[in-house]
Amino acid sequence: MPKEMELKQDHKMFQILNENGKIAKGQKMPDLSDDQLKDIYRWMLRIRTFDGRAIKLNRQGRLGFYAPMAGQEACQAASMAALKRSDWLFPSYRDLGASMIHGLSIEKAFLYSRGMKGGMELPEDLNMYPPQIIIAGHVPHAAGAGWAFRLREQEDVAIAFFGDGATSEGDFHEGLNFAGVYQANTIFFCQNNQYAISVPLHKQTNSETIAQKAIAYGIRGVQVDGNDALAVYQATKEAADRARKGEGPTLIEAVTYRLGPHTLAGDDPGRYRTKEEEEDWQSKRDPLKRLRKYLESKKLWSDEEEEKTSEEILEEMNQAIKAIDKMPKGTAADLIDDLYEETPAILQKQKDEYLAWKEGK
């Protein structure tokens, strides 16, 4: 490899905060103020609280499609803390936490999960694409956005979130290859939560790490402890800084764990993983417990703040649910109207037939 193309590949897992909430030997704190640290933890707690409430709403029949985020809070909260509001977010369906941090309202998040009209009508000042359901389908989009920033000589960055299963899709490889060739301002953030629905990582890839897949595309790759908020922040900040300076894209593999089911559409994790494994990740590696221990050791957090933050997010969620319960649910005709600027004749015919049927019903 020519000297100008040499890239540091760090595939030994990067960690700053160990499982006991202490700074690991040889590591140092990122450049974060006390307020920034607390804000990251507050968002992690908000995501965990939102997740629990959303699951209950789903079971009550008041929320539709939902992919639990519990266990992956550090990946989303800490990475977004390292970016700017001017950067562009390309989320997947499990990234409502990252989306809300970037500016998506809880009301919009609920509308999306309910499949209601307006759920993905994003505010013009929100630099975010709608959550992608197709696995890895948004990876080339993020690569293209990063290339556009490079062409325009903008310092903005595009970040795409996806799971370990996405690395088996063609879109993943096409996106990384394109970004590498054109040195796009893009961060590819893989939340390796160990399972692509029921398929474990060892059946997903024979690579020792996902991060090392970056080598094939001539871009930087780094594996980070995804349950360590400080390491996630630092890795994302460094990737963003490199991109802003025109030094190309980065693939970040954040090693984490999905505590709940893949989605609430009938998945039963008990059929493909053991209770012992789940307990090990939940009791010893929980990202919230780890960061809270560190904050408490610095006298930056208390039980009172924990309770207050949880109550605030629950109240915010309750108000949002009450508001959307009063909203119209939309019709099949709305789907046609919202799809095209000028409705094609064949769809107009279908719409007319639907409206006539509805009127005569």
Chain segment 146-161, per-residue pLDDT in tens: 999 999 999 999 999 9
Any residues with CB less than 8 A from the CB of 56 and at least 6 apart, and which?
none
Residues 317, 335 within the same domain? no
* Same domain membership, residue 180 and residue 78: yes
* 258 and 346 belong to one structural domain: no
Q: What are phi and psi of 225, to 5 degrees?
A: -70, 105
Question: How far, CA to CA in Å, does 353 sit from each of 241, 347, 359?
Answer: 55, 10, 10
Average pLDDT, the chain: 93
Distance, in Å, from the CA atom of 145 to the CA atom of 329, rounded to the nearest integer, reads 33
Verify that 335 and 203 share a domain, yes or no: no
Residues 338, 194, single domain; the answer is no
Tell me how many domains the chain contains. Answer: 2
Whether 354 and 271 map to the same domain: the answer is: no
Structural domain span for residue 246: 3-329
Same domain, 110 and 33: yes
Residues 228 and 81 in one domain: yes
Percent of the chain with pLDDT over 90: 84
Residues 212 and 339 placed together within one structural domain of the fold: no
Q: Would you give per-residue pLDDT tens digits along the chain (361 residues)?
A: 334 444 555 568 999 999 999 999 999 999 999 999 999 999 999 999 999 999 999 999 888 889 999 999 999 999 999 999 999 999 999 999 999 999 999 999 988 888 887 887 899 999 999 999 999 999 999 999 999 999 999 999 999 999 999 999 999 999 999 999 999 999 999 999 999 999 999 999 999 999 999 999 999 999 999 999 999 999 999 999 999 999 999 999 999 999 999 999 889 999 999 999 999 999 999 999 999 999 999 999 999 999 999 999 999 999 999 998 888 877 888 888 877 889 999 999 999 999 999 888 7
Alpha helical stretches, state H, the chain? 34-59, 73-81, 96-102, 106-114, 139-151, 170-182, 229-244, 275-284, 287-297, 303-325, 332-337, 345-360
| Catalytic residue list | 258, 262, 272
Nearest to 92 by CA among 145, 142, 133, 44: 133
Q: Are residues 361 and 283 in the same domain?
A: no
Q: What's 228's domain CATH number?
A: 3.40.50.970
One domain, residues 254 and 306:
yes
Q: Are residues 288 and 159 in the same domain?
A: yes
Q: Is the pTM of this model over 0.85?
A: yes
